[in-house]
A and B are shown apart, each in its own frame.
Chain A
Amino acid sequence: MDFLPALIPVLPLLAFAVIITNGRRLGWSACLVAVGASLTSAVLAALVYSRVLLSHETLAWSFEWVRWGETALRMGVRIDGLGALMLFMVTVVGTLIEIYAIGYMAGDKTFSRFFAFVSLFMAGMLGLVVADNLLLLFVSWEIMGLCSYFLIGFYFHRPSAAAAGIKAFITTRIGDVGLLIGMILLWWTAGTLRFDELLLAVPALAGLGDAHVDLMLTAAALLIFVGTIGKSAQFPLHVWLPDAMEGPTPVSALIHAATMVAAGVFLVARSFILFAQFPAALTVVAWVGGFTALFAALIALTQNDIKRVLAYSTLSQLGYMVMALGLGAYAAGMFHLITHAFFKALLFMGAGAVIHGFHHVQDMRRMGGLWGKMPWTAWTFLVATLAISGIPPLSGFWSKDEILLGAFHESPVLWVAGTFTAFLTAFYMFRLFFMTFTGRQRDGEIHAHESPAVMILPLVVLAVGAALLGIPGSPWMGLWVQHSLDVPAYALAHHHHSNLVMGLSIAVAVAGIALAWLMYAPRPTIQPARVARAMGRLYTLSLNKFHIDEIYAALIINPTRALARGSFRFDLGLIDGAVNGMGWLQRALASLKGLFDKWVVDGIVNLLATIVQALSAVFGLIQTGRVHNYLLLASLGALVIACLTWWNMG
């Protein structure tokens, strides 16, 4: 039973192996293999979750992986309340998205390849959740990074998709390197990468009061957080996520909204003991998260591509989670991770249904009036929009409120920023909703249609989740979800309920929706164009995403290219200049050097190769093919051996 969690990532891995080797033969039924595997994983995850919930114990199973003398490295799985909840969320949301993708990807020539990579992705994500040490977590992390690259660039014949894949790969690589160095520092200082041993080792080391050790561990924490910044797309490494929308929409829903990007947050939660011991690191986490939340929300205000608005909203919501962890509101952050996974997957899949039914147009300015044509999509989308906007009693309200409560007690500045972000969130989400679903269709040439049942069903299931999942985590049920996480004592920041925080958060959400209605209703009271003009520079800044991409191009990408070009020219110029300037002497030296190279350097290499070849030919002669020669040689050999041995022994 204890190794049961280890099976959960193995099933999708097997599905990947089966599909990738038999893709052509399986054809359409590839999706059955993938869905079957993740559905079984989901059932296993439910079993594990119920067991962990009931007993409040940690399931752990590990084996000795490799041993060098006294040092043994163990590999295994470890499921506590946090891991069990994550497992449950990932398998359920993942299965629903795979079912949805059956409809969305239908007719695609690379149908089976898609399901192969989604299965591999699931294996990576689940491996990361069950891992009992940072090494296994890192391996899974990299598998996900690879899948993400493949799936963003899934339509690789489109240059923008190929570029987005490369951008994501390189940007997250920076984070991965940070994580790797952090792991090495941790191994060096604490001597272990296993989470249960770190729980004991880190406080012991911190208790020493050795400034050097403290410095190392703080550095390790910050470097691990760099991994989070990359994977969870926090400022300043957020630039890859909006571009990742080039991938098929189910991928956006699964990887770039519900699960993979949450892995960064999960990483901080898993290694929270490090952060908890070093408040400096925690402060950095809180501010990076708070800044990203506000920053991304500001960009989301003006975007016109339906998936990009959602992408920036993902950045912003991830910012909330990171901020919560940084403020010590560990349980609130993880609770928000779960509720966000449901409503954001639903939003993306709803957007996918819109795009699917709207003949792959993503510009909201051409949409409108889809309410009548896509009733199922519209209703479920409304539920998700209300949830993310923080309207009670939907799930997003409870988790966001918990985070803001934490901020209210810990850092007033971040509380104000978070509340303002909540206002912006309600505004831009309803802007999206009104532009897409209400009024009249602005581009009359497209005939929108509702999606097939296989796509609608997951939407409905997710909508139920997005609506109700907050209840178990609400004060009505005594914050049951948060307590089920087995929050370790060091992360237990208990905040008293505050009516001010809750009331204000409802008020700003309603205000945001009202403002969106005034500006984007079928007959707007305030013309958006006038507001844009009034905002002037601010509007263009937001529209152009604060020019971050251009700044990176100017500061990093172009200088790197220029440096490469310059180095090349320098090389070229130096050799030319040297040759021209030094005249025949140089030429003579060069030819001497050439001779040296040819006869000595290359010569040695070639000589060795020639010797081996020649030896091979000579010894090959032994093999005459005549058996009496063989017998003679063998007997002679025996004689030589005997004589040599005798002589050697004296």
Chain B
Amino acid sequence: MSYAEYLAAIGPEIALTIAALLVMSIDALWPRSVRAIPWIGIAGLLVTLAMLPMFRAERVAFSGLLVIDPLAVLFKVIALISVILVALLSISHRPLRGFHEGEYHTLLLFFAVGLMFLVGAAHLLMIYLALEMVSLAAYLLTGHLKLDPRSSEAALKYYLFGALCSGLFLYGASILFGLTGTLHLDGIAEAVRASGLSAALLAALVLMLIGLGFKIAMVPFHLWAPDAYEGAPTPITALLSVASKAGGFAVLLRVLAVAFPLEALDWQPMLWVLCVVTMSLGNVIAVRQGNIKRLLAYSSIAQAGYVLVGVVLMRQTPAGLPSAMIYLIAYLFMNIGAFAVVIVVSNALGSDKIEDYRGLARRAPLASASLAVFLVSLTGIPPLAGFIGKFYLFAATIDAHAYWLAVIMGVNSVVAAFYYFRVVRAMYLDAGKSEEPIGTARPLQVAVGVTLLGTFVIGVWPQPFLLFAAALPLGF
């Protein structure tokens, strides 16, 4: 394969890079066009999304650094949709308005580029580079509101934690290289199969798991998340909780499925424990949160735990991987939707406290109804997307005879219902201090509309999404 053919394989990534450079240049050359910048970025993202179907033919590019396979394409779609929605949220988020918007949207686009490389990376060096690209953009975006001390503090904590984890990941990767003599994931798998289990192999896995666990905010590597989520600009909170997490899951899936064959190293019990701890701890701590962003931070830790159920079971039942994917797609819509409404409220009230959500239903009936829908969906109640996701996860646990996992997931759902409904109760049943109506900016209306539509459509007609999610052979 020639180099030109390699370049042709990554057409969407190149297009998005051009868009990012374009946004950066426009910002530098015509500072007065700042209002158009987010829309140029969104247009670039949409074009990239539209290009994906043409670039989905399976192939290996750049001598095995990158692969284009169904898993990569699926995650690229998830990543692009979530970044588009986050860009829409950013336009109307009051603290961001007029504050280095060009820089912000450039970073957002480079974040998306990094994510697209990350989900297709099949080589440890490539994985590391893409991981760093995504992380660096994410640190900067978290601390974008540099005049707000909470934003800066969040970025610093996130960065320090991230630095440790990425260092440990690199350490694990180098051990693996030492053991196997290759950085290609499939090459590693062959060598590992030949050599079998050793303490060094286990150390490599655990160290790499830390790096990836950090990305998906898996307990006990989640500690940065609540602080970073609370301090970051709210659209970036949505980005970290969805897009960044999706990227982490893509790499986790690929590394576990391709590089670590079960016969050499049975990682399932370890991941089982981590999955149970992640969902339980996330849900339990969420119960006492008084800040909606913190509540959603802990809830998203728990949600990652649910997705891990599908990952744990991916070798035991063919339903495992698709169920994790369908849950991730559902989570994309309901979680970003919830953050969109949080932005509507914080724009009007300047507060993220749940007590300020009292009586919201009378002030912003549509926004309240939408938030209620998203929270009900996160709880997993039909006919919404979250129910379909949970339904398939439960089906996978039953199929794999993992009954304990099913029971623990069930108990967790009950605990989760408790804190989600606390917000719904505040909005609908408690009396507020004010009756003044709250308006919603147009881009936020679009974002809420799209996420609401996604939440309902997946709930009512899941079949196309199931087909989409089921197209994942991934090294079987």
Kindly identify, within residues 197 to 250 of chain B, every residue whose CB is under 8 Å from any CB belonging to chain A: 197, 199, 202-203, 206-207, 209-210, 214, 219-221, 223-224, 226-227
Question: Quick check: which of B111-119, B251-259, B267-275 contacts chain A, the rest being far away?
Answer: B267-275
Q: Which residues of B contact A648 (CB under 8 A)?
A: 269-270
Once bound together, how far apart are the Cα atoms of A612 and B298, in whole Å? 15
**Residue contact B161 to A619, C-beta cutoff 8 Å:** no
Q: Which B residues lie within 8 Å of A21 (CB)?
A: 366
Q: Which residues of A contact B266 (CB under 8 A)?
A: 649
Q: Is the CB of A634 within 8 A of B284?
A: no
Within 8 Å of chain A (Cβ to Cβ): is B443?
A: no
How distant is A61 from chain B, measured CB to nearest CB, in Å? 15
Do A620 and B285 form a contact, CB below 8 Å, given A66-B461, A66-B463, A649-B266? yes
A75 to chain B, nearest CB (A): 8
Q: How far is the CA of A636 from the CA of B221 in the complex (A)?
A: 10
What is the minimal beta-carbon distance from B158 to any residue of chain A, in angstroms?
A: 9
List of A residues within 8 angstroms of B157 by Cβ: 627, 630
Question: B273 contacts A644, CB within 8 Å?
Answer: yes
Q: Which residues of B contact A616 (CB under 8 A)?
A: 284-288
Q: Check if A71 is an interface residue, CB within 8 A of chain B.
A: no
Task: Flag whether A642 is at the interface (Cβ < 8 A).
Answer: yes
| Bound-complex Cα distance A612 to B287 (A) | 8
Asked whether A642 lies within 8 Å of B156 as measured between CB atoms, the reply is no
- B98-113 vs A, Cβ < 8 Å mask (1 yes, 0 no): 0000000000000000
- B161, B203, B219, B274: the one contacting A627 at CB < 8 Å is B161
Provide the bound-state CA to CA distance between A65 and B415, in Å. 32
In the complex, what residue of chain A is closest to B165 when comparing beta carbons? A634
Q: Which residues of B contact A617 (CB under 8 A)?
A: 288
Bound together, the chains give a CA A634 to CA B273 distance in angstroms of 15
B284 pairs with A619, CB closer than 8 A: yes
Q: A65, A634, A641, A646: which contacts B274 (Cβ < 8 A)?
A: A641
B288 & A634 in contact (Cβ 8 Å cutoff): no
Contacts of B288 in A (CB 8 A): 613, 616-617, 620
Nearest B residue to A63 via CB reads B463
Complex Cα–Cα for A63 and B461 (A): 10
Q: Which residues of A contact B168 (CB under 8 A)?
A: 638
Contacts of B164 in A (CB 8 A): 631, 634-635
| Contact A630 B223, beta carbon cutoff 8 Å | yes
For the residues of A in contact with B, the DSSP-based class is helix
Q: How large is the interface on B (under 10, 10 to 19, 20 to 34, 35 or more residues)?
A: 35 or more
Q: Which of B219, B267, B284 has the most CB of A within 10 A?
A: B284
B381 at the interface (CB under 8 A from A): no
Partner of B284, one of A615, A630, A641: A615
Contact A625 B220 (CB under 8 A): no
Instruction: Assess whether A646 is in contact with B156, with CB atoms less than 8 Å apart.
Output: no
CA distance A461 to B219 in the complex (A): 71
Query: With A and B bound together, what is the CA distance between A413 and B123 in angstroms?
Result: 87
* Inter-subunit contact B285/A619 (CB<8 Å): yes
A494 to B224, CA, bound (A): 80
Give B391 Cβ to nearest chain A Cβ, in Å.
10
**B224 cross-chain contacts in A, Cβ below 8 A:** 627, 630
* Any A CB within 8 A of the CB of B170: no
Q: How far is the CA of A75 from the CA of B160 in the complex (A)?
A: 53
B220 touches A634 (CB 8 A): yes
Shortest B173–chain A CB gap in Å is 15
The distance in angstroms between the C-alpha atoms of A66 and B463, with both chains bound, is 5
Residue of B nearest to A72 (CB): B463
Question: Is the CB–CB distance between A642 and B223 below 8 Å?
Answer: no
Q: Is B64 an interface residue (CB 8 A)?
A: no
- Is A595 part of the binding interface, using a Cβ–Cβ cutoff of 8 Å? no
A210 at interface, CB cutoff 8 A: no
Known contacts A66-B463, A630-B161, A645-B206: A623-B285 contact under CB 8 Å: yes
Closest to B222 in A: A634
Q: Is A446 engaged at the interface, CB distance under 8 Å to the other chain?
A: no
Q: List the B side residues contacting A620 at CB < 8 Å.
A: 285, 288
Closest partner residue, chain B, to A69 (CB atom): B395
B60 at the interface (CB under 8 A from A): no
What residues of B have a CB within 8 angstroms of the CB of A635 in the complex?
164
Q: A108 at the A/B interface (Cβ < 8 Å)?
A: no
Per the bound structure, the CA–CA distance linking A491 and B419 in Å amounts to 59
**A64 — nearest CB in chain B belongs to which residue?**
B463
Contacts of B463 in A (CB 8 A): 63-67
Does the CB pair A641–B227 fall under 8 Å?
no
A637 at the interface (CB under 8 A from B): yes
Chain B residues whose C-beta falls within 8 Å of the C-beta of A641 in the assembled complex: 206, 209, 270, 273-274
Is A622 an interface residue, CB under 8 A from the partner?
Answer: yes
Interface size on A, residues (CB 8 A): 34
Chain A-chain B contacts (Cβ-Cβ < 8 Å), number: 92
B227 contacts A625, C-beta separation under 8 Å? yes
A620 to B282 Cα, complex, angstroms: 10
- Asked if B223 and A622 sit within 8 Å, CB to CB, the answer is yes
B202 partner, pick from A612, A615, A629, A646, beta carbons under 8 A: A646
Query: Smallest CB–CB gap between B7 and chain A, Å?
Result: 38
The answer to whether B466 has its CB under 8 Å from any CB of chain A is yes
Among the interface residues A619, A625, A633, A636, which one has the most CB atoms of the partner chain B within 10 A?
Answer: A619
Q: Is B446 on the interface with A (CB-CB < 8 A)?
A: no
User: Is A642 a contact partner of B161 (Cβ separation < 8 A)?
Assistant: no
Determine whether the beta carbon of A638 is less than 8 Å from that of B207.
yes
A637 touches B220 (CB 8 A): yes
Q: Is B281 an interface residue (CB 8 A)?
A: yes
Contacts of A638 in B (CB 8 A): 168, 206-207, 209-210, 220-221
Partner of A645, one of B165, B223, B270, B461: B270
Residues of chain B within 8 A of A64, CB atoms compared: 463
Contact B161 A631 (CB under 8 A): yes
A residues less than 8 Å from B206 (CB atoms):
638, 641-642, 645
- A613 and B287 contact, CB distance less than 8 A: yes
**A645 engages B220 (CB within 8 Å):** no
Which residues of chain A are within 8 angstroms of B207 by Cβ–Cβ distance? 638
Shortest CB distance A486–B (Å): 30
Contact residue among B202, B210, B462 (Cβ-Cβ distance under 8 Å from A634): B210
* In the bound complex, CA of A617 to CA of B206 (Å): 29
Question: What chain A residues lie within 8 Å of B156 (beta carbons)?
Answer: 627
Q: In the assembled complex, how far is the CB of residue A566 from the closest CB belonging to chain B, in whole angstroms? A: 34
Interface centre among A615, A634, A635, A642 (most CB of B within 10 A): A634
A21 to B199, CA, bound (A): 62
Residue of A nearest to B161 (CB): A630
In the bound complex, do residue A627 and residue B284 qualify as a contact, i.e. CB atoms below 8 Å apart? no
| Interface 1/0 per residue, B449-470 and A, CB below 8 Å | 0000000000001110010000
Set of chain B residues within 8 Å of A646, measured between Cβ atoms:
199, 202
Alpha-carbon distance A615/B286, docked complex (angstroms): 11
Return chain B residues, CB-CB under 8 Å to A629.
Answer: 223
| Most-contacted residue by chain A among B156, B197, B266, B285 (CB, 10 A) | B285
| A-chain residues with CB within 8 Å of residue B285 when the two chains form the complex | 616, 619-620, 623
* Least CB distance, B392 to chain A, in whole angstroms: 11
Please report which residues of chain B, range 154-205, place their CB below 8 angstroms from some CB of chain A when the two chains form the complex.
156-157, 160-161, 164-165, 168, 197, 199, 202-203
Give the docked Cα–Cα distance between A616 and B286 (Å): 7
B210 contacts A649, C-beta separation under 8 Å: no
CB-CB nearest in chain B for A645: B270
A620 to B290, CA, bound (A): 12
From 419 to 476 in chain B, residues with beta carbon under 8 angstroms from any chain A beta carbon are 461-463, 466
A306 CA to B192 CA in the complex, in Å? Answer: 89
Give chain B residues whose Cβ lies under 8 Å from the Cβ of A66.
Answer: 461-463
Determine how close the nearest CB of chain B comes to the CB of A561; give it in whole angstroms: 30
- Please list 24 pairs of residues, one from A and one from B, whose beta carbons are closer than 8 Å in the complex, sorted by A's number: A63-B463, A65-B463, A66-B462, A67-B466, A616-B284, A617-B288, A619-B281, A620-B288, A622-B223, A623-B223, A633-B220, A634-B210, A634-B220, A636-B220, A638-B221, A641-B209, A641-B270, A641-B274, A642-B203, A644-B273, A645-B269, A648-B269, A649-B202, A649-B266
Task: Give me the interface of B with A, judged by CB distance under 8 Å.
Answer: 156-157, 160-161, 164-165, 168, 197, 199, 202-203, 206-207, 209-210, 214, 219-221, 223-224, 226-227, 266-267, 269-270, 273-274, 281, 284-288, 366, 415, 418, 461-463, 466
The 5 closest A-B pairs by CB, nearest first: A637-B220, A630-B223, A616-B288, A616-B287, A642-B206
